[in-house]
């Protein structure tokens, strides 16, 4: 009987004419903004396509940082974990506030001073050789496919399928097609402009749903009383599965029995957040596109202010959804859960879509669907653009050192299309493998792979004694340890409600956030020990590549193999340009002109030769980290205010 009642939980899945109009208008407007940005982009240069010409302003940077971070996976995952266990999951957002400030004040000045396009490229300049650059490129692409892209598409699929009843694959393919159009054509500038639009849609829609949710439950005070009593029926085998934790409204929980133990909450989440915001190409690339350091810091400040919002607009509404729809959202009986959401492991992931379906009136339901589409599209465009940057600069350019700008741009655009194809193919695989809470899946996989990367970037920036051997073996040791834990974790799976936990102690007794801390320390220690046991890198190779040398005016001497690669690439490119010039004496074929228009690439006939003086001026702009005293003081004051707000929220909800 319970299952029969529950199957009608999503009976209100139709959308009205007003909703369809809102969705269509949004999608068309978003596409037009992307195409408009495309024609404002320096589409014929690598700097213009991958770094938006380095002329983006603070509000666009901040909006893009936020929307790239808060995707559909965050809406579904944060609300779902909030429904399952309370506000502790908001620690990821509140920690992100501080990490965004670290990005702008500690990491980005070094990245910009080094004059790089990608973070693997920074490792090549910092340490020499190529194995670090290639390894980091491949690892980053794998992380993007298995966490960022797959999780956002899966979350978007949940929302579209549950809220309006669309065929999941049709909806996702349409969204992927639209995002691919302006990502392929316009590059980073088109992505950032559309991210700015989508941030407004996301934040506006989230606030509307938040207000409706609070009104429906009777306010936060009523939620404090109602959430502990939101116990589903039936329970399984008389167990306490499905009973809300007593620490639901606390960020810090017991170190051994808590679902988010406080050591992992404070240190483990900080490691994951710092990796994500400070050493991951997707987020860092937005800051690298800023006009100057004031806009870098202003963008981080805006994004940090916005990071305060999800606790109130996503996590608390997720908890409200559990209160309002307890038997559906908080179900623990596998048969009931299968009837509700076709997932016997649990249905907390439907918490946010459930609110949209039940609480949003016609028209506003379409607005919220548009907001979720915005979240999905902004995250995907960001990952697509950053992935194509890494593949083009760090992998293809190494395979083809003499590749022209035109070739690199075409390869980058084609790689985006490849990612779109991989994403669509991965949807059923991910759908079949998911169980429980999506957000914890994302963070656990990241926790098994990311800590060694963060330890390397921290040491590379702050300790000049770090050398290539130490960096490589630190990464390798961390990779082996992380893969062993990940294999055990997914091999054994999680015990169901009321089942005995027979997993090895290394899994059952060590929380994945505690393991994140251990993995970070192991990688850090190996890197330091091996670096001290081997020869240091001469100072002549380190100018403007560490925090301590970021302002150096001394010309850096490239590593021998780095110089040889550059010379080989320059020679091959000069030869290609001569051959291309000979071919382009006559008028361009019609098919080629059409291809240039479609790809947004400027015809070689319209490109102007760049003089050495112009190249030097461009390089100076690309590597400038100068700041004006007045604006420096302004952004510093805002950073202090943000940290005080963050500390207040941590203290209030700890």
- Rounded-to-integer distance, Cα 496 and Cα 185, Å: 47
Name the strand (E) or helix (H) holding 476.
helix 468-492
Lowest mean pLDDT among 20-29, 243-252, 525-534: 20-29
**Residue appearing with tokens 């091996």:** 530
What digits encode the pLDDT tens for the residues 296-314? 999 999 999 999 999 999 9
Q: What residues form DSSP beta bridges with 56?
A: 290
- pLDDT at site 474: 96
* Per-residue pLDDT at 380: 73
Q: Is residue 429 predicted with pLDDT exceeding 80?
A: no
**Residue 542 pLDDT exceeds 80:** yes
Question: What pLDDT was estimated at residue 129?
Answer: 78
- Over residues 50-63, the mean pLDDT reads 71
pLDDT higher for 498 or 460?
A: 460
pTM: 0.82
Q: Are 48 and 187 in contact (CB under 8 A)?
A: yes
Closest CA to 519 of 486, 472, 481: 481
CA 342 vs CA 6, 324, 339, 436, 635: distances in Å: 12, 20, 6, 12, 49
| 46 DSSP 8-state letter | H
| pLDDT for the residue 97 | 92
Q: Fill in the DSSP letter of residue 56.
A: B
For 409, 416, 601, 609, the CA distances from 605, given in Å and listed in that order, are 17, 26, 11, 11
Q: In this predicted model, what pLDDT tens digit does every residue of 128-150 receive, in sequence order? A: 878 888 888 888 888 887 777 77
| Mean pLDDT score across all residues of the chain | 79
pLDDT score, position 14:
53
Cα–Cα distances (Å) from 93 to 66, 310, 525, 595, in that order, read 11, 7, 28, 43
Three-state secondary structure call for residue 290? strand
CB 419 within 8 A of CB 387: yes
> What is residue 261's three-state secondary structure?
strand
User: The tokens 């490792």 sit on which residue?
Assistant: 123
| pLDDT at residue 178, as a whole number | 67
Higher pLDDT, 73 or 312: 312
Q: Which one is predicted more confidently, 283 or 194?
A: 283
pLDDT band at 322 (very low <50, low <70, confident <90, very high): very high
Q: What pLDDT is recorded for position 509?
A: 82
Q: Select from 469, 452, 453 the least CA-distant residue to 284.
A: 453
Q: Which of 89-93, 161-165, 612-616 has the highest mean pLDDT?
A: 89-93
Higher-pLDDT residue of 282 and 278 is 278
Q: Which of 61-70, 313-322, 384-393 has the highest mean pLDDT?
A: 313-322
Is the predicted pLDDT of residue 279 greater than 80, yes or no?
Answer: yes
Cα Rg, the chain, nearest whole Å:
25
State pLDDT tens for residues 352-362: 888 888 888 87
Confidence (pLDDT) at 628: 87
Region 321-329 average pLDDT: 92
Determine the Cα–Cα distance for residues 199 and 190; give it in Å rounded to an integer. Answer: 14
Task: Give the Cα separation of 226 and 219 in Å (integer).
Answer: 11
Q: Once rounded to an integer, what is the mean pLDDT over residues 462-482?
A: 95
Greater model confidence, 586 or 320:
320
Instruction: Supply the pLDDT for residue 130.
Output: 81
pLDDT bin (cut points 50, 70, 90) of residue 432 is very low
Work out the pLDDT band at 6, boundaries 50, 70, 90: very low
**pLDDT more than 90, % of the chain:** 28
Q: Is the peptide bond before 234 cis (omega within 30 degrees of 0)?
A: yes
Confidence check: pLDDT of 635 > 70:
yes
473 near 526, Cβ under 8 Å?
yes
What is residue 487's predicted lDDT score, i.e. its pLDDT?
82
No. of H helices and E strands in the chain? 33, 0
546 vs 185: CA distance, rounded Å: 35
- Range in 163-167, 333-337, 387-391, 624-628 the model is least confident about: 163-167
Question: pLDDT, tens digit, for every residue of 595-623?
Answer: 555 555 555 444 455 566 666 666 666 77
Residue 618, pLDDT score: 64
| Domain annotation for the chain: domains and CATH numbers | 2-430 (1.20.1730.10)
Determine the length of the chain.
654
Between the alpha carbon of residue 105 and those of residues 73, 101, 289, 297, 442, the distances in Å are 28, 6, 16, 7, 27
Any long-range contacts for 414-419 (C-beta under 8 Å, 24+ apart)? Answer: 415/387, 415/388, 415/391, 416/180, 416/183, 416/184, 416/384, 416/385, 416/387, 416/388, 417/180, 417/184, 419/145, 419/149, 419/383, 419/384, 419/387, 419/388
Mean pLDDT of 214-228: 92
pLDDT of residue 434: 39
Sign of the torsion formed by the C-alpha atoms of 348, 354, 355 and 358: negative
Instruction: Say yes or no to pLDDT of 47 above 60.
Output: no
Residue 52 pLDDT class (50, 70, 90 cuts): very low
Which is higher by pLDDT, 53 or 121? 121
**Coil, helix or strand at residue 245:** coil
Task: Write out pLDDT tens, residues 250-275.
Answer: 999 888 877 788 998 999 999 999 99
Residue 538: count of CB within 10 angstroms of its CB: 9
């Amino acid at each position: 009987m319970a299952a029969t009642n529950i199957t009608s939980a999503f009976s209100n899945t139709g959308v009205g004419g007003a909703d369809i109009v809102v969705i269509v208008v949004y999608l068309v407007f978003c596409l037009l903004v992307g195409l408009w940005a495309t024609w404002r982009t320096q589409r014929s240069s690598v700097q213009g396509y991958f770094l938006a010409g380095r002329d983006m302003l603070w509000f666009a940077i901040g909006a893009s940082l936020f929307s790239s971070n808060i995707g559909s996976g965050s809406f579904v995952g944060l609300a779902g974990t909030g429904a399952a266990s309370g506000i502790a999951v908001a620690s990821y957002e509140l920690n992100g506030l501080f990490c965004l400030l670290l990005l702008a004040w500690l990491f980005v000045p070094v990245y910009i001073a080094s004059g790089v396009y990608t973070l693997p490229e920074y490792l090549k300049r910092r340490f020499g050789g190529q194995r670090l650059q290639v390894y980091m490129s491949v690892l980053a692409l794998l992380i993007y496919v298995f966490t960022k892209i797959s999780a956002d598409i899966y979350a978007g699929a949940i929302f579209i399928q549950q809220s309006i009843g669309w065929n999941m694959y049709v909806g996702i393919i349409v969204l992927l097609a639209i995002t691919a159009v302006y990502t392929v054509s316009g590059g980073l500038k088109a992505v950032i402009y559309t991210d700015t639009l989508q941030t407004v849609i996301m934040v506006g829609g989230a606030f509307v749903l938040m207000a409706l949710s609070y009104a429906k439950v009777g306010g936060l005070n009523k939620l404090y009383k109602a959430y502990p009593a939101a116990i589903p029926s039936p329970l399984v085998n008389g167990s306490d599965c499905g009973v809300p934790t007593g620490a639901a409204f606390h960020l810090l929980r017991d170190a051994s029995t808590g679902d988010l133990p406080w050591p992992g909450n404070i240190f483990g989440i900080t490691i994951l957040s710092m990796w994500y915001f400070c050493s991951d190409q997707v987020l860092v690339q937005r800051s690298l596109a800023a006009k100057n350091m004031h806009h870098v810091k202003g963008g981080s400040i805006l994004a940090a202010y916005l990071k305060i919002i999800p606790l109130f607009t996503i996590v608390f509404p997720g908890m409200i959804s559990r209160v309002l729809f307890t038997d559906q959202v908080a179900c623990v009986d596998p048969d009931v859960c299968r009837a509700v959401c076709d997932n016997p492991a649990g249905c907390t992931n439907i918490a946010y879509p459930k609110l949209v379906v039940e609480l949003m009136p016609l028209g506003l339901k379409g607005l919220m669907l548009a907001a979720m589409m915005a979240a999905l599209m902004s995250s995907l465009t960001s990952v697509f653009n950053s992935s194509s940057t890494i593949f083009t600069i760090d992998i293809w350019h190494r395979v083809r050192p003499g590749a022209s700008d035109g070739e690199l741009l075409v390869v980058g655009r084609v790689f985006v299309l490849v990612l779109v194809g991989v994403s669509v193919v991965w949807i059923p695989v991910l759908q079949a493998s998911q169980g429980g809470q999506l957000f914890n899946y994302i963070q656990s996989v990241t926790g098994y792979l990311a800590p060694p990367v963060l330890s390397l970037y921290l040491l590379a920036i702050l300790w000049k004694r770090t050398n290539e051997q130490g960096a490589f073996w630190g990464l390798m040791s961390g990779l082996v340890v992380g893969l062993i834990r990940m294999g055990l974790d997914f091999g054994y799976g999680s015990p169901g409600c009321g089942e005995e936990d027979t997993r090895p102690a290394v899994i059952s007794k060590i929380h994945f956030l505690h393991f994140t801390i251990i993995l970070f320390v192991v990688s850090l220690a190996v890197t330091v020990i091996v670096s001290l046991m081997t020869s240091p890198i001469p100072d002549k190779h380190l100018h403007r590549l560490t925090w301590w040398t970021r302002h150096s005016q001394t010309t850096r001497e490239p590593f021998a193999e780095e110089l040889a690669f550059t010379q080989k690439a320059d020679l091959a490119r000069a030869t290609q340009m001569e051959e291309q010039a000979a071919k382009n004496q006559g008028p361009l074929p019609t098919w080629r002109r059409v291809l240039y228009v479609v790809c947004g690439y400027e015809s070689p006939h319209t490109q102007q030769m760049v003089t050495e003086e112009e190249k030097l001026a461009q390089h100076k702009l690309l590597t400038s980290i100068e700041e004006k005293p007045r604006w420096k003081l302004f952004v510093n004051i805002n950073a202090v205010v943000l940290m005080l707000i963050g500390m207040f929220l941590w203290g209030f909800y700890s």
